Chains A and B, each alone.
Chain A
Amino acid sequence: MAKVLLIAEHDGENLNANTAKCVACAAGIPGAEIDIAVFAESAGDIAAEAASLESVSRVLSSEDPAYRGALAAVLAPQIVALAGGYDYVLGPSTTFGKDLMPRVAALLGVNQVSDIMSVEGERTFKRPIYAGSAIVTVEAPADVTVVGTVRAASYRPVGAGNSAAVESLAMTADVPDHTRFIASESGASDRPDLQSAARVVAGGRALGSADNFDLIYKLADKLDAGVGASRAAVDAGYVPNEMQVGQTGRIIAPDLYIAIGISGAIQHVTGIKDAGTIVAINKDEEAPIFEIADVGLVGDLFNVVPELIDALD
């Protein structure tokens, strides 16, 4: 039997959709018995959502005001206090998990397997390196806890027909006072969440301005799609950072991804290559995005996109 502790990500109210994908990864470990740990100010609903995920044996639910803001320095010692009973401690490879899990690994005196994209054996995993230009098969050493982050885009979420037991968990480790959460400044949006949207429309530098990015929003609204952007568009200030897709932004796998005015640098492509269908609209027929696009249209986005919006009416 392989005991797996999976750390839930949430926004204080709801379980993050990546958690169901991490469960799918964990379920691929031979003999896995999966517990999910929820650390939240108010954990009830989040724990209930976690307990509904198939393949989950047990949910450990810990409530404390100190969990606000999900600070790694606060959470890591709590996780390590639990880790003794587990062979694997996993989290999502999101900014939450990337911040937290190396802190857990260091407290346990081990290295971390970052961005697990497939489980090949008890301690063997595949992960991307060089922005996805290469895939390496790695092996974690025997007899130590495996700490890892899961590249959620590589997995389909497990179903939600389960009703695992929820046990409450007392806070056991000390809370450091050297790190304080101040505020979250998140752009609230009515559009589908970029990470979990079935369709995503993304714009690049070729949009030319924040105002012109309205074209992307209009098309996205027609398709009920989430909105993403290339690094160049974010750097240019057209859109906020949370919309960046790629090596240093979101790694997503929608059914449909429409890249508009995005050249397709490897650092961007690594964030979308698990998408079902990739559509590229670009006026440069030599743009590398066409090498990975399933459907390409060479043309000026300022003509093509309005026409496409009309065609969808």
Chain B
Amino acid sequence: MEKILVGLKRVVDYNVRVRVKGDGSGVETEGVKMSINPFDEIALEEALRIKERGEANEIVVVSIGSGEAQQQLRTGLAMGADRAILVETAEEPDPLSAARALLEIVNRENAELVLLGKQAIDNDNAQTGQMLATLWGRPQATFASKLEFSGESVRVTREVDAGLDVIEVDLPAVITADLRLNEPRYVKLPDIMKAKKKPLDTIPWADLELPDSPAISAVSFEPPAARERGIIVEDVAGLVGALKDKGLL
């Protein structure tokens, strides 16, 4: 295929312990480490492998967010993407709006495959890929752990609660990546230097002329209910005794 589009969302890094702000107005993101959403990184790695096998010609990475998301796009370029597009907006769009924006880019770019992470680890919504596929009128294969291309279709192994499902979808299609699709490569210093010369275009959100969507508003934030600190037992006899006390044995 000619072109694969990969979505990269800038999110709070996987290892950061996220805390709710004291006034309940949001979570603390000031000064915390930001990264590519790990599932999106897996999506990009898969696109790169497809290209390296000679099954695609160009990989375009897209992010929707503030100017700071250029950092994540540069990382994507350093990993091996050919081009980057930032749809710039100060406010984080809701999933439906994000899907509409991605569809606009998909149409402009004439992409035949869109690879996204199965969810972003900040809001944990897991909606955008499915919504993009729907608005596009194309198939979706979510939670992918294996892709096999043959002609105009892809056989996708999906990680589901009961085990694995295998489906076949015609291209163009949207595929969302699960954890075990691959292990993303590390970026090497020379690649970071090279990535600085690769094209990164910015499109202001307003230029996409998208309709307003009925966003779900966040009213307030709170820390999760804490579990009461338990007891430490010395040995197996103590453990069995504690479980018996609780009526569990």
Per-residue CB proximity of B206-217 to A under 8 Å, as 1/0?
000000011111
**A295 close to B (CB within 8 Å):** yes
The answer for the CA separation of A256 and B244 in the assembled complex, in Å, is 12
Interface residues of A in 47-93 (CB under 8 A from B): 69, 71-73, 76
The answer for the CA separation of A260 and B122 in the assembled complex, in Å, is 28
- Distance of B7 from chain A, by nearest CB (Å): 15
**B230 close to A (CB within 8 Å):** yes
Nearest B residue to A112, CB-CB:
B127
With contacts A105-B96, A111-B215, A135-B221 taken as known, whether A129 is within 8 angstroms of B230 at the C-beta atoms is no
- Distance of B23 from chain A, by nearest CB (Å): 13
Stretch in A30-38, A138-146, A160-168, A205-213 with 4+ CB within 8 Å of B: A138-146
Contacts of A297 in B (CB 8 A): 232-236, 238-239
**A286 close to B (CB within 8 Å):** no
Of B127, B133, B161, B230, the contact of A111 (CB 8 Å cutoff) = B127
Of A109, A113, A114, the contact of B124 (CB 8 Å cutoff) = A114
With contacts A133-B18, A136-B218, A248-B178 taken as known, whether A182 is within 8 angstroms of B168 at the C-beta atoms is yes
Are B165 and A180 touching (Cβ within 8 A)? Answer: no
- Distance of A76 from chain B, by nearest CB (Å): 7
Are B126 and A114 touching (Cβ within 8 A)? Answer: yes
Contacts of A69 in B (CB 8 A): 165, 167
The answer for the CA separation of A135 and B226 in the assembled complex, in Å, is 12
The answer for the CA separation of A99 and B210 in the assembled complex, in Å, is 25
Query: How many A-B contacts are there with CB distance less than 8 Å?
Result: 250
Are A279 and B239 touching (Cβ within 8 A)? Answer: yes
**B222 close to A (CB within 8 Å):** yes
The answer for the CA separation of A139 and B39 in the assembled complex, in Å, is 27
The answer for the CA separation of A114 and B238 in the assembled complex, in Å, is 41
Are A105 and B131 touching (Cβ within 8 A)? Answer: yes
The answer for the CA separation of A9 and B220 in the assembled complex, in Å, is 31
Are B248 and A277 touching (Cβ within 8 A)? Answer: yes
With contacts A102-B131, A295-B231 taken as known, whether A186 is within 8 angstroms of B162 at the C-beta atoms is yes
The answer for the CA separation of A141 and B165 in the assembled complex, in Å, is 35
Nearest A residue to B229, CB-CB:
A291
Per-residue CB proximity of B46-67 to A under 8 Å, as 1/0?
0000000000000000000000
Known: A134-B223, A141-B217, A291-B229. 15 other contacts (CB 8 A): A73-B139, A102-B126, A114-B124, A114-B127, A130-B27, A133-B19, A136-B219, A138-B216, A139-B217, A186-B163, A241-B163, A248-B119, A293-B230, A297-B232, A308-B239
| Interchain residue pairs A-B with the least CB separation, the first 9 | A186-B163, A102-B130, A106-B134, A294-B230, A106-B131, A102-B127, A141-B214, A133-B18, A182-B166
Can you identify 21 A-B contacts, CB atoms within 8 angstroms? A72-B142, A105-B96, A106-B96, A112-B95, A135-B221, A135-B222, A139-B217, A141-B216, A178-B139, A178-B173, A184-B164, A184-B166, A187-B163, A231-B179, A240-B163, A277-B246, A293-B230, A294-B231, A296-B231, A297-B233, A312-B249
